[in-house]
Amino acid sequence: MNAVQIETWRHRHANRLEQAKSAISARIPWSPFDDQMPAGILQLTAGTLGRLEQLIGTSLALDPGHETDLSLPEHGGECSPYGPMLNIRYSVETFASQADKALSAMRVWASLPHTVRSSVLLECVSRLHAQTELFTQVGMHISGHSLLMAYHANAIHAQARAIESIAHLDKLQSESRLNVEAPLQDTHNRRKLRRQFSTHPVGLSLIYTERTLPTWNGYASIFASLAAGCPVIVLPHPGAVLPLALTIQIIRDTLREAGLPPDILQMNASPDSQERRAAAQHPAVRLIDYSGRRDFANWLHTNAGQARVLAQTGGSSPVILHSTDDYHGLIRNLAFGLCSYSGQLCTSPRRLHLSTLGIDTPLGTIAPEQFGQDLTSAIDQLLDEQPAPSQLLGAIVNVQHYEHALHIPQERASQILRLGGPVEWPQESAARALSPTLLLIPPSSSDAAQDELPPPITPIYVHSNWQMLLDATKEQIVREHALGIALYAMDTHVVEEVERLAFEHDSLLSVNFCGSYYPSQCSIFADIHGGKDPYNSGFNTPQFYSGRLKWREKREETEVSV
């Protein structure tokens, strides 16, 4: 171990660590990195490949410049939702051999003081941050992010999530280290009992990352497990390997520089679903983080009983419109939420609900049709204001969703308020980029919970009365597993009613967001994200962090030293 190097890093990042630990305790939003895009990144456009060009069609090694086993099979075939085939290949070892290496690396990693792990990992985050431009481009070409979304969600906010996890684990491990001594009275205080408490990592940590927010979600788990002392093997979504591969390159490189075994962090990019399942059942795996589909989370819980499962599933956030003191703010806020990444986040506004009575506003009551037209105009205006649509819209990452939006069924024709369509992109004509489609669905013409209307289609449901609105929203929450609910209401009783609904279903409630903070946003170091279901676990809730540790105790009777 290169102790001198690590000590330099500890000094370099000590202040950041203290700020992060204060932020998580007080839940005061804090940004370690500037939210404003620097000039260099502002010039990027979604269609251009930039630094990715040289990676196309290559075999990407996790340890460039180091010996690699050329006999390993390769997998790959990612394709940008903006058009280009990336066709990058990744060599894949067997999981069993990776698990052996991980356990061997753990012997070193777990035995370090947690402060050493924090210092090394904060240095890793700094190096990831230095590659922000690359990660911004990767966010666009892997997850179809808009420029702003890619800069935030795939780069600087993901890096902040990493720091958040390091801070939580640093705090937890510091507080859990305790030495308590007490004299033993029956020995006439000649002997004492010393209790030593400490934590240790639960063991090998398996992390399945997802497609739309591979780093933002992935970093929270990866850095939490690493900070706890667990070795990590990442199983990236087969369509989103690149952001993890680049991350792991940087971290392994830093570990090597610290004189630590790089196998503390490995990747298995096998796209084979049998192999992906078998990995979860490997007896050495003691912790599984998964974000994605609920059925796979259920499978893990039932079939990987040797491990703790921490799952983040579902999404789809309903919006309830009752009344507002800032109608224009409401419209602008919603229009932005629907355009940003073309509404593909699990926290994006999905399915809007209002009653036939419309929305009470200082301008008078706004009827549902009027609301639909106003929202349409606001979306058009917002897109007109953008220097390029790629700064705000996203490319549709799911091909079926893309096809769905291009072919709205004939029987819905009368419901269309705004028909989103292909957006002209500066470079690529094959981009699956679409602007939002809005449907106005009159009472009783549809079962809100059953409609298959994926983004960028947003249905606005008009309900005959308030109770039917609540019932339909509740059905959506249950069926689509809503992480959040956005509510616009001035009436205290209505807020309380929806609060009960949200809390009953463990959904984050966002009320009257009319400025430029959006219901889909989640302030790192402050907001709770996720945490539904018995085996789900939210960022910024205790179990997400403490679940990676076990508590140890040694009791020793000794002579009292004179």
Which residues would be at the binding site for a copy of itself (CB under 8 A)? Answer: 26-29, 172, 178, 180, 182, 184, 186-187, 191, 193, 195, 197, 200, 202, 286-287, 298, 301-302, 305-308, 325, 499, 502-503, 506, 508-517, 526-528, 531, 534-535, 538, 540-543, 546-547, 550-559
CB nearer to a copy of itself: give 209 or 512.
512
**Which one-letter amino acid corresponds to residue 378?**
A
Q: Cβ distance 279 to 233 under 8 Å? A: yes
User: Pick from 422, 415, 423: which is nearest to 352 by CA?
Assistant: 415
User: Pick from 389, 323, 315, 302: which is nearest to 347 by CA?
Assistant: 315
CB nearer to a copy of itself: give 54 or 302.
302
**Nearest distance from residue 389's CB to a copy of itself, in Å?**
22
**Nearest distance from residue 19's CB to a copy of itself, in Å?**
16
**Nearest distance from residue 554's CB to a copy of itself, in Å?**
5
CB nearer to a copy of itself: give 306 or 373.
306
Cα dist from 398 to 201, 237, 349, 432, 433, whole Å: 37, 13, 18, 9, 11
Q: For the residues of 153-181, what is the DSSP string, one character each?
A: IIIIHHHHHHHHHHHHHHHHHHHH-EEEE
Say how far apart CA 391 and CA 388 lie, in whole Å.
6
Residues in contact with 317: Cβ distance below 8 Å, sequence separation at least 6, in sequence order: 346, 347, 348, 349, 350, 482, 483, 484, 485, 486, 507, 519, 520
What DSSP character marks residue 2? -
DSSP run (H or E) holding 441: strand 437-441
Beta-sheet pairing, 457-463 with 484-488: unpaired
DSSP run (H or E) holding 119: helix 114-130
CB nearer to a copy of itself: give 396 or 485.
485
**Nearest distance from residue 486's CB to a copy of itself, in Å?**
10
CB nearer to a copy of itself: give 97 or 516.
516
**Nearest distance from residue 345's CB to a copy of itself, in Å?**
16
Q: Cβ distance 340 to 520 under 8 Å? A: yes
**Nearest distance from residue 278's CB to a copy of itself, in Å?**
18
**Nearest distance from residue 392's CB to a copy of itself, in Å?**
16
**Which one-letter amino acid corresponds to residue 551?**
W
CB nearer to a copy of itself: give 262 or 538.
538
**Nearest distance from residue 352's CB to a copy of itself, in Å?**
18
**Nearest distance from residue 195's CB to a copy of itself, in Å?**
7
**Nearest distance from residue 210's CB to a copy of itself, in Å?**
22
Rounded to the nearest 10 degrees, the angle between the axes of helix 114-130 and helix 242-257 is: 130
For the chain, the distance separating the N- and C-terminal CA atoms, rounded to the nearest angstrom, is: 38
CB nearer to a copy of itself: give 66 or 552.
552
Q: Which residue has the tokens 């956030």?
A: 317
Question: Count of alpha carbons within 13 Å of 461, Cβ hemisphere only?
Answer: 28
CB nearer to a copy of itself: give 53 or 557.
557
CB nearer to a copy of itself: give 446 or 523.
523
CB nearer to a copy of itself: give 239 or 315.
315
